[in-house]
A and B are shown apart, each in its own frame.
Chain A
């Protein structure tokens, strides 16, 4: 029988082992701090359908300093308001906006990702916190970008109701 060229699975074994009673089953995070150290008010601007359409020509960004004291396991996500109406009366579909979270601190325990905004509700996780993260700090860069091919000419400024949220499970 020809064996797989580069990989072999021998099988897997499951055991249920007795353990010392009263051992804590799960340690939730004892402390986590998020600090947005730079960014802008939520202002979307689009004059045509070819250019970048956020924050007067530049993507809206924010830098978040994340500090944990004890434990871990959680996520960071974005809670959005309903689709805003611009100065010209056009509705901005927030579902066209993607938020990307990058761990610029290279922590290894805060795993960046991306999520699409959900009008009037919470997005999926934009970043996840690893387990057992103790007394560490890193920086998360959050960038809002929009599919410029689909935008329409209008200005939506200082949109209220966005929240950068942290959750532990």
Chain B
């Protein structure tokens, strides 16, 4: 099991033109957890929820599923049992609603139990919870955070392929990098992506790209705007680290006129 310790805090103040203060505050930790539980077994990890605001808060925890579209957008939905890769139905917490006083925290286990009949075919599953905070005293908008759970059964093959890559000029001093990735393995790919723009062998731009998880069989189209490029010859180099012992790299030369 690999622990990706993350922390999310959301705080909200409500009331028109109120000064900045944390009337409602919600902290959820972690946001992401990776599990490796065998069919017929169970696993758990600790979730900590904190009310860092100044008023009592009703916390509700609700199962939620999500998917990632080709363009990398996250789409959320309530529990979708039709999704064969969802493990949300196997996730549980001891209490789905509770009240936290200002400054109070509660830590509890988020458990997953896979039935004996669960498939042993090496592949990946995902699910999670939406943790919401709301004022006990009045209606309004509240803060919320998600806990995403990834589950890997067996040792599925992890592989990404870069299918295409190009840069198209946009305006007089910029362009748009377009790349197409294919997850042709059986494992999910949580990708750390990096873009370098070089001119004459010198790196002139270097940035990390936020690329949501690419699930098995999924296609991902990456579009990234590149600014501040005077006329000239350039090379774009895109690299993807997805947790294997190799880095996938692609490059393309382009000219800004």
Which stretch from A11-19, A46-54, A90-98 is at the chain B interface? A11-19
A-side interface residues, number (CB < 8 Å) = 69
Q: Is the interface of B mostly helix, strand, loop or mixed?
A: strand
Contact with A along B151-184 (1 / 0, CB 8 A): 0000000000110111111000000000000000
Distance from B250 Cβ to chain A, minimum over Cβ atoms (Å):
5
- Chain B residues positioned under 8 Å from A23 (CB to CB): 241
Of A8, A15, A69, A167, which one neighbours B249 at CB under 8 angstroms?
A15
A112 beta carbon closer than 8 Å to chain B = no
Of A7, A11, A30, which one neighbours B7 at CB under 8 angstroms?
A30
- Chain B residues positioned under 8 Å from A163 (CB to CB): 130, 132-134, 141-144
A85 beta carbon closer than 8 Å to chain B = no
Q: Is the CB of A7 within 8 A of B140?
A: no
Contact with A along B120-161 (1 / 0, CB 8 A): 000000000010111000111111111010000000000001
A62→B25 CA distance, assembly (Å): 15
A65→B6 CA distance, assembly (Å): 19
Q: Is the CB of A71 within 8 A of B6?
A: yes
Most central of B7, B73, B193 by chain A CB within 10 Å: B7
Of A5, A10, A55, A159, which one neighbours B254 at CB under 8 angstroms?
A10
Which stretch from B84-92, B104-112, B209-217 is at the chain A interface? B209-217
Considering only residues 1-35 of chain A, those with a C-beta below 8 Å from chain B are 5-19, 21, 23-35
Distance from B253 Cβ to chain A, minimum over Cβ atoms (Å):
4
B1 beta carbon closer than 8 Å to chain A = no
**Contacts A14-B250, A17-B246, A169-B148; A38 near B20 (Cβ below 8 A):** yes
B13 beta carbon closer than 8 Å to chain A = yes
Cross-chain pairs A/B with CB under 8 angstroms, 29 sampled:
A7-B168, A12-B250, A14-B161, A14-B162, A15-B250, A16-B246, A16-B247, A17-B246, A24-B192, A25-B190, A25-B241, A25-B242, A25-B244, A26-B190, A26-B191, A31-B7, A34-B12, A35-B11, A39-B13, A39-B141, A42-B140, A55-B16, A122-B130, A165-B143, A166-B10, A166-B31, A166-B146, A167-B76, A169-B190
